[in-house]
Amino acid sequence: MALIELQEVSKIFGFGEATTLALDEINLSVEKGEFLAIMGPSGCGKTTLMNIIGLLDRPSHGKYLLEGRDSSRLRAGRQAKLRRDRIGFVFQFYNLLPRLNVLDNVALPLAYRGMTPVRRAKRASDILELIGLRDREYFLPKHLSGGQTQRVAIARALINNPSIIIADEPTGNLDSHDSKVVMELFADLHRSGHTILMVTHNPELTRYASRVIYMRDGMVVEEESTSIGAIAKGALRTYLRKRKTTEEDVLAGVSALLKDVPGKAMTSEPKAKPKSKSKKRSRRALRKARR
Ligand SMILES: Nc1ncnc2c1ncn2[C@@H]1O[C@H](COP(=O)(O)OP(=O)(O)O)[C@@H](O)[C@H]1O
Ligand SMILES: [Mg+2]
């Protein structure tokens, strides 16, 4: 039995004319212990997919089975409990509470479990030891480097000993050194049996993954098993085409931004005029000017 199984999962945002099909009949299964990397241009549905798998959101259509259980039939409270016990989230923008020190930030998810403060602090302290930040326990987030902050966020994600870790562009905000430190931490977690789902734009990071899926327009368009240590072939191709992808990314981002603006819902990307045509026109303009 797969740990995660999506059957023709679709997600639609909005109403009436201004709807977005963020996920388009996705089929996906993830086995326990996999390290799955999810790639694709901005706006293709990666975060939406992670939110559904992480029980932060529900499919509009289709079925999501988590450990064989149909999660779409669960009531909200039950779903929240399952999320708390099974899933750890790591985001691009750490989401630590600025007024709480490192220890309290890490211990926060335990507060909802009715554990005594002393036991909470002990457990948080143990996790911080594990990731090498015990000496930063009483620091506020603003006094940490980017890499340290993300490690604290990972510690917080681990506090409930989740079986699934969902990381949405976890190194998107880090320099290459800090990225490496954070990725090594994920690699350790993977080796110790955690299932990891990670969204990334960085082909380099597919080295850590055991499988890569490529998304476009709400669909999984390609997938590839990879060996740990090697960059996935598909990711490498994207990397080589990088300039083109970046351009598409920008366009997708713009259309995503305009999506909720009344009367500006874009159904298709604005097309740039073909170069040859404008060249012809300017040549004609030149000739005209010479006359
Ligand atoms: N809460 C929302 N309401 C309306 N549209 C949304 C919402 N969340 C995402 N979308 C739209 O769904 C599409 C997929 O978004 P997202 O999953 O964030 O893509 P990605 O993470 O790949 O950049 C985009 O077109 C985005 O604008
Ligand atoms: Mg996203």
What distance in Å separates the CA atoms of residue 181 and residue 252, rounded to the nearest whole number? 31
**Per-residue model confidence (pLDDT) at position 95:** 83
For residue 215, report the phi and psi dihedrals to the nearest 5 degrees: -110, 155
Contacts of 189 (CB under 8 A, 6+ apart): 158, 165, 196
Contacts of 157 (CB under 8 A, 6+ apart): 88, 89, 90, 165
The reply to whether ligand 1 has any atom less than 6 angstroms from the CB of 259 is: yes
The reply to whether ligand 1 has any atom less than 6 angstroms from the CB of 201 is: no
Q: Computed from CA positions of residues 176, 136, 104, 121, in that sequence, does the dihedral angle turn out positive or negative?
A: positive
Rg (the chain; Cα; Å): 22
The reply to whether ligand 1 has any atom less than 6 angstroms from the CB of 13 is: yes
Question: Which residue is listed with tokens 């909802």?
Answer: 112
Q: Residue whose CA is closest, atom 27 of ligand 1?
A: 256
- The conformation of residue 152, written as its DSSP 8-state character, comes to H
Among residues 170, 214, 166, the alpha carbon closest in space to that of 56 is found at: 166
266 — pLDDT class (breaks 50, 70, 90): very low
**Per-residue model confidence (pLDDT) at position 274:** 44
Q: What is the CATH number of domain 4-290?
A: 3.40.50.300
The reply to whether ligand 1 has any atom less than 6 angstroms from the CB of 171 is: no
- How many whole angstroms from its chain centre is CA 221? 17
What distance in Å separates the CA atoms of residue 127 and residue 10, rounded to the nearest whole number? 37
**Per-residue model confidence (pLDDT) at position 107:** 93
What distance in Å separates the CA atoms of residue 100 and residue 234, rounded to the nearest whole number? 42
- Select from 9, 10, 13 the residue to mutate for testing ligand 1; criterion: most ligand atoms less than 8 Å from CB: 13
Q: On the CB side of 13, how many CA atoms lie within 13 Å of its CA?
A: 13
What distance in Å separates the CA atoms of residue 223 and residue 38, rounded to the nearest whole number? 9
The bound ligand whose nearest atom lies closest to the alpha carbon of 13 is 1
242 — pLDDT class (breaks 50, 70, 90): low
The reply to whether ligand 1 has any atom less than 6 angstroms from the CB of 42 is: yes
pLDDT in tens, 51-95: 999 999 999 999 999 999 998 888 988 998 899 889 999 988 878
Q: Where are the domains of the chain?
A: 4-290
52 Cα–ligand 2 center, Å: 13
| Across 112-126, average pLDDT | 89
Share of the chain above pLDDT 70, in %: 82
Higher pLDDT, 285 or 91: 91
**Per-residue model confidence (pLDDT) at position 259:** 41
- Select from 12, 48, 255 the residue to mutate for testing ligand 1; criterion: most ligand atoms less than 8 Å from CB: 48
**Per-residue model confidence (pLDDT) at position 250:** 47
Nearby residues for ligand 2 (ion, Cβ within 5 Å): 46-47
267 Cα–ligand 1 center, Å: 14
| Across 228-255, average pLDDT | 65
Span of 53-57, 155-159, 245-249 with lowest mean pLDDT: 245-249
The reply to whether ligand 1 has any atom less than 6 angstroms from the CB of 245 is: no
The bound ligand whose nearest atom lies closest to the alpha carbon of 40 is 1
287 Cα–ligand 2 center, Å: 49
